[in-house]
Homo-oligomer: A and B are copies of this chain.
Amino acid sequence: MPQRQPQHSVGQESIFQAALTCFYRHGYDGTSVRDIAKASGTTPAAMYHYYASKQDLLMDIIGRFMEQSIEVTRVAIDEAKDEPPAQLFAAARSHVLWNASDVVSSFVVNSEIRSLEPDNRHHNIAQRDKLQRMFDAVVARGVEEGVFMTPWPREASRAVVTMCTAVATWYKSGGELSPEEIADRYGAMALSLVGSTLGVASS
């Protein structure tokens, strides 16, 4: 999994993190530039040094997370054995780990699509489609090769992505299962969902 490293300068990163926390707690429309400045211990002018607007900051948060989600999935599929069951297991597993590792970003990314302005929204839809299509391609190939029995590859693929994303809505660190254990089970459940001939406990 790619390192979750700041790609910003220290100053920009503190504004980015403050905005993320504010959007998580109060939503985009419930957060002012003044709130972000206060939470980051700076001034509105500091935010405008790095971002043209609050919208620009939201788009950095959402776009970056989506870009990394795509990259995480690409790496998982590339590094798995070149067979649909291994690839789907790896993709689902990594998608769970990725979302569970940053439930704050996952929530903001999935709840503030409404707040994106038209161009940003189009870009976001394209990113979401790209992520979904990586799962779709694996499931479609499994069906084609006769190892996934689902009659509904597209719906099954979407259900896999949404159930894995949703782990971020209930995951609490320090719970009964480690993120890795949860991810392993979701990988196996994804196989079960697509009717993998390897069966539910195969991985």
Contacts and interface: CB of A to CB of B under 8 A. Distances in A.
Interface of A: 24-31, 107, 110-111, 114, 149-152, 155-156, 158-159, 162-163, 165-167, 169-170, 182, 185-186, 188-189, 192-195, 199-201
Copy tally for this chain in the complex stands at: 2
Contact of A150 (B27, B107, B182, B192): B192
Given A28-B30, A149-B201, A151-B201, 4 more contacts: A27-B27, A152-B185, A162-B167, A165-B166
Nearest to A200: B195
A195 B186 contact: no
Nearest to A132: B170
A153 to B, nearest CB: 11
A159 B150 contact: no
A142 to B, nearest CB: 13
Contacts of A31: 29
A27 to B, nearest CB: 3
Given A163-B159, A195-B192, A200-B149, A27 B30 contact: yes
